[in-house]
Structure 1
């Protein structure tokens, strides 16, 4: 399965925008500088009291659909 490592730095308030219906997608930057877009619902499993901060591995199917998001390191 293809993957890309992304840095995510979102406050708790920014993460709550998804639950309020204000955010459908998350925009992040990969470690190699590419812009990456993935579904905001992916944050549900990883959001904490302070939001989401750290390096994550974004995995997707061969046709480019989101599959999983796993923490590699977090702050």
Structure 2
């Protein structure tokens, strides 16, 4: 399955907007400069009290649908 490594920097308040459903998608930039859009509900797996900060690996199906998100070093 294809993967893309991205940097996500979202404050606690920005994450709250996603959590409350006011925002349905997240836009992030990959480490190689591409713009990537994925479902905001994916953030629930990686959000902390401070928001979402760091590098993450997004996994997509062969048809381009979001599958998973994981924190990377």
TM-score, structure 1 normalization: 0.94
Q: For 1:12 and 1:60, how far apart are their aligned partners in 2? A: 26
* Matched residues, number: 73
Q: For 2:71 and 2:25, how far apart are their aligned partners in 1? A: 18
Q: For 1:42 and 1:14, how far apart are their aligned partners in 2? A: 14
Superposed structure 1 runs of 4+ greater than 4 Å apart: none
Consecutive unaligned residues of structure 2, counting only runs of 5 or more, are none
TM-score, structure 2 normalization: 0.97
Consecutive unaligned residues of structure 1, counting only runs of 5 or more, are none
When the two chains are superposed, the root-mean-square deviation of aligned CA atoms in Å is: 0.6
